Amino acid sequence: MDTIIFDKIPFHLDPVELMQMMRIKASSRHGAEIDRLARAAYDIGKPKAMVKVAYIESKGEDTLATDGVVFTSRVLRVNVEKAHKVFPFIATCGIELHEWAGSMDDLLQRFWADAIAEMALRSAMQFLESTWLSNTSSASWRG
């Protein structure tokens, strides 16, 4: 099966939630700056994810081979004891937010921007979990 790329993942960013997470009051001097950063990030944020169905080729005592790659992990091996396929995936906040956060010169703004990028990453993970991974029996799903 081909790799499936999700590049239109909804990114919900609530400035109030962000301020609560950062323990900053909206009425504080930092509240307006976080709100500005959150709105800018929302406009450019494009979280992405990729997933593939891969069939297990072999299992050793503490190894698992799939799609030409051998993983050495007793925990992984035990977790796929009865499985015949796995779903390797990756998620990212997107290069747009990564570059945006990295462009911040002020350390505090960069910290906030990194937190915003992390929220975008969580959006991608939640999308995969709720939309694709929980519905892996649907062979017709194509993001």
Of the chain, the percentage scoring pLDDT greater than 70 comes to 91
| Percent of residues, the chain, with pLDDT higher than 90 | 60
pTM of the full structure: 0.78
pLDDT at 74 exceeding the cut of 90: yes
Closest CA to 47 of 141, 137, 111, 143: 143
Tokens of 45: 């944020």
The tens digit of pLDDT for each residue in 83-93 reads: 998 888 999 99
The residue among 141 and 18 whose pLDDT is bigger is 18
Average pLDDT in the chain: 88
